[in-house]
Structure 1
Amino acid sequence: MAVIPATWDLYELLQAVVQAPTYHIVFEILLILWIIKLIFFSKSYALEKTVLTTKEKDELIEEWQPEPLVPDIPDTHPVLQALERNIITGRPDKYLNVNGRSCLNMATMNFLGMAGDQTIETEAIKCLRKYGVGSCGPRGFYGTMDVHLVLEDNLAKFMNCEEAILYSYGFATIASAIPAYSKRGDIIFCDEGVCFSIQKGLVASRSFIKFFKHNDMEHLERLLIEQQKEDKKNPKKAKVTRRFLVAEGLYIKHGDICPLPKLVELKWKYKVRIFLEESFSFGVLGKCGRGVTEHFDIPVDEIDLIAASLENSVGSTGGFCCGKKYVIDHQRLSGLGYCFSASLPPMLASAATQALTIMEANSAVLFTSLRENAEKIHDGLLQVEGMKLMGVPISPLKHLQLGEPGGDRDMDTRTLQKIVDEVQTLGVAMTLARYLEKEEHCLPQPSIRIAVSCKLTDTEIKNVIECTKKACQTVLNENSS
């Protein structure tokens, strides 16, 4: 109600009431009645209390069994056994020193041999002496140094994008980027074969997830058509719902490549945004290592967001996203891994910058050698009896599975581990593909993961193939006898 000055007399007050609009008077009367009801007629409902006797309390306490903070892990767990079995001395270069024995490294994803490059080490040491070990703060709070800006600028130019953003942890890159854009109520169409970091990003987004079969474009289009029909039923909701399509350039769990041309076609046909995770295709695919877009000769502007790790081909730590300026700027305020994590150690940013320089200067040699080595090993491993090879020929990631799985995952894993151990005695280091089995969305069959490097010689490739054949034959014959 309007405040009435004290100088007004009763006549002026009545006159003001008479002149007031009817709807205004009715509204104020209802408001006064509602306030009176709240003050004098509101009821408080007391919660019913259950009173337990001392005996009942003791029985409940005795029955209660608290869950352990950490679940019991058997001593026979393969990871714990591997920790005791494989002790690495020195850097993970072309050759590994495992338990005092030199082995050819086919286990770590040092595709371009950057982890052992002397010029990268020199740049990192020079930066270490200038900046120290770490930044000790997030990018927005005194964690941004000039080497970070230089690396972001170089990554953007290398990928032919407007801007790039740097994360300090490769896993957190795509896991932070997805929920920065996709929120509750949005829809994400995702390949069921994506890596674990993407899966965590999907969970964090709280969006509605629709998985399509791995690299099955017909299944994806059916899901998009179904969503299109649902949108027509509720156009008001559809107008405010964002739709995303998430895929990997090179799938770590399968060793194959996404059909990007078809994904781009579906993007424009059904109006979805594409997020591409290129941790294992960046520095691998394409004439100059720019990833799956260069491999298929698709303009990078067709992709809404590209994310990649610097922990594989580049041989450093962290990750980055690149794309349009307005897309990247949004992450500087909404990417949790960027806003709240300490920035990438300056010496590792300097190392990544040097690695990019090497990639640009030696692209013809590096990527041609990597593809040729991958194809040679692929052709050789296809001839291993009793085993099934997963992946495409040009992929430096290979998966060897049992040709005839036994139906018991633990038993198959133990068989593959015996093969890995046998290969190691012959001087080649390999590893089993590891997963968080209870949390993985689509758990693949147990496999031996093999990582190819561009530094391998023809003699070393032949040695890997022969040792693998011999180890598989020995172990499989023992199991059959």
Structure 2
Amino acid sequence: MSSTMAILPATWDMYDLVQSFLRTPTYHLVVEVCLVLLIIKLIFSKSYKPEKMVLSEKEKEELIAEWTPEPLVPDIPEDHPVIQLMEKNIVTGPPGKYINIRQKSCINMATMNFLGMVANKTIEDEAVRCIKKYGVGSCGPRGFYGTMDVHLDLESKLATFMDCEEAIIYSYGFATISSAIPAYSKRGDVIFCDEGVSFAIQKGLVASRSEIQFFKHNDMEDLERLLQEQAVKDKKNPKKAKVTRRFIVVEGLYLNYGDICPLPKIVELKWKYKVRIFLEESFSFGVLGEAGKGVTEYFGIEVDQIDLITASLENAISSIGGFCVGKKYVIDHQRLSGLGYCFSASQPPLLAAAAAQALMLMQEDPGMMIKLRENCLKLHEGLTSINGIKVVGLPHSPVKHLRLVEPSDDRDLDNQTLQLVADRAIENKVACTVARYLEKEEKFLPPPSIRIAVNCQLESTELDTVISVLAKSFNEVFAL
């Protein structure tokens, strides 16, 4: 009896196994059999060893003689306009208030030296002192022996100046915003972006792989329309809405338009529709606000209302690199996810020291911002009197665009017309430049223009010279 009872469980186990096998779908069995056969084949098959081919010396020489290497870059015609301009516009000496170009000393209205920090003696002395201590480079990313005490000092000073918890610096201004955006916004997220943003922001948008929705330049009604449409989508699919992050990306002062974003309205929409704000202040930092803190100070908005602020050190500060400021946890995330921070060699110590010195000078003398605004207003008033052009940009903006009132249908022709004006201005010792774009890559290509950059060091008589020379140059070209 006991032996019979012992056999029964084993019989029932075999019965259950057979029944489960019979209930298994045929396709499932076929897949499992194929996998088993494949594993057996891989175990017993011999590894592939390519047959060694031995070439004679003659065959080697023939193959080498036949090989034609592909060029690293496509051929560029010698008459390409950019090549011609580079050969013509060789600068000797520092690009300060005056610039030496084409063997002429010209009033510099081309470079973004807003506060006149280029060739400042105290900044140069600090850079020389730093070179003697650290050398000329860091030779590594911040996370791999590239962090010097001057980097930490600059970050601390920037955070304190901007009234933020923490700051992070990048070694290249362009890479700052183009690295910061994809560090937070990923595939599946939504970015609402102004059509007028600079090329660096556009590259950051592409790198994020997020869904990009552009609204008309500084058109808050169009932005709210997009936000309302997104709110409707979120109600239809609440499960997806819970994991979708939403961002608004704008510039404080737009490089391509010379105007300011309506930040108070953007902050209002932020809280109404639960989105985050990324504010790019490369051209408003050191320019707007009583102390030069940017568009937040200009409008009297608390910096905590903005989720991330980025700016370049290459304009008002006249160094190299860029920075981001915000909450500590926001900045810490970039130290692990900001591509330009993690994989690029850190900012050369001498440039970090120069930027810190320039920041100190800016804090000690806020009068330079007042002088800059006065120069902007005077120049704007004078330029608006020139016939045939329209001045694009706010009166107190240091970036202005001179565009043709009646442009042709041929963009190249308009650029050539404006280049003739710039050439005649240089002949009369005023240096300005035609705004250049990567036309095939720009999402919304701005119209052709001559871009003017104002300097706080310019005297009233020098501004009068700039206005008269540009008026004369336009009149002469229009008369051709």
When the two structures are superposed, what TM-score results if normalisation uses the length of structure 2? 0.88
Give the corresponding residue for 2:378.
376
Q: CA deviation at 1:31?
A: 7.8
Unaligned runs of 5+ residues in structure 2 are 39-68
Q: Distance in 1 between matches of 2:440 and 2:199?
A: 12
Deviations 1:392-419 (A, max 9, x none): 0110001001111111101100000000
Q: Where in structure 2 are the equivalents of 1:72-471 lying within 5 Å?
A: 72-363=75-366, 365-471=367-473
Q: CA deviation at 1:29?
A: 8.2
AA aligned to 2:145 is Y
Q: Secondary structure at the match of 2:100?
A: strand
Cα distance, 1:385–1:329 mapped onto 2, change above 3 Å: same
Q: Distance in 2 between matches of 1:206 and 1:10?
A: 69
AA aligned to 1:188 is I
AA aligned to 2:174 is F
AA aligned to 2:452 is I
AA aligned to 2:95 is P
Q: CA deviation at 1:15?
A: 3.9
Q: CA deviation at 1:18?
A: 6.1
Cα distance, 1:17–1:412 mapped onto 2, change above 3 Å: farther
AA aligned to 2:159 is A
Cα distance, 1:381–1:32 mapped onto 2, change above 3 Å: closer
Deviations 1:322-356 (A, max 9, x none): 00001000000100000000000000000000011
Deviations 1:374-407 (A, max 9, x none): 0100000000111111000110001001111111
Cα distance, 1:32–1:403 mapped onto 2, change above 3 Å: closer
Q: Secondary structure at the match of 1:150?
A: helix
Give the corresponding residue for 2:41.
none
Q: CA deviation at 1:10?
A: 10
Unaligned runs of 5+ residues in structure 1 are 1-8, 45-65
Q: Distance in 1 between matches of 2:347 and 2:155?
A: 12
Q: Distance in 2 between matches of 1:10 and 1:74?
A: 97
Q: Secondary structure at the match of 2:402?
A: strand
Q: CA deviation at 1:38?
A: 3.7
AA aligned to 1:294 is E
AA aligned to 2:468 is E
AA aligned to 1:317 is I
Deviations 1:234-268 (A, max 9, x none): 11111110000000000000111101011101111
AA aligned to 2:399 is L
Percentage of pairs with the same residue: 64
Deviations 1:33-69 (A, max 9, x none): 988544546799xxxxxxxxxxxxxxxxxxxxx9976
Q: Distance in 2 between matches of 1:17 and 1:301?
A: 73
Q: Secondary structure at the match of 2:107?
A: strand
RMSD: 2.4
Q: Distance in 1 between matches of 2:399 and 2:25?
A: 75
Q: Distance in 2 between matches of 1:464 and 1:330?
A: 46
Q: Distance in 1 between matches of 2:402 and 2:395?
A: 13
Q: CA deviation at 1:85?
A: 1.2
Cα distance, 1:202–1:11 mapped onto 2, change above 3 Å: farther
Give the corresponding residue for 1:53.
none
Q: CA deviation at 1:187?
A: 0.4
Worse overlay, 226-235 or 71-80: 71-80
Q: CA deviation at 1:71?
A: 4.1
Q: Distance in 2 between matches of 1:303 and 1:253?
A: 23
Deviations 1:65-98 (A, max 9, x none): x997634434343321211111111111111111
Cα distance, 1:37–1:302 mapped onto 2, change above 3 Å: same
Q: Secondary structure at the match of 2:479?
A: helix
Deviations 1:147-189 (A, max 9, x none): 0000000000000000000100000000000000000010000
Q: Distance in 2 between matches of 1:389 and 1:39?
A: 73
Q: Distance in 1 between matches of 2:462 and 2:11?
A: 100
Q: Secondary structure at the match of 1:320?
A: strand
Cα distance, 1:417–1:28 mapped onto 2, change above 3 Å: same
Q: Distance in 1 between matches of 2:388 and 2:473?
A: 11
Give the corresponding residue for 1:4.
none
**Equivalent residue for 1:474, pick from 468, 473, 476:** 476
Cα distance, 1:348–1:431 mapped onto 2, change above 3 Å: same
Q: Distance in 2 between matches of 1:214 and 1:26?
A: 69
Q: Secondary structure at the match of 1:96?
A: strand
Worse overlay, 97-106 or 27-36: 27-36
Give the corresponding residue for 2:63.
none
Worse overlay, 201-210 or 31-40: 31-40
Q: Secondary structure at the match of 1:378?
A: helix
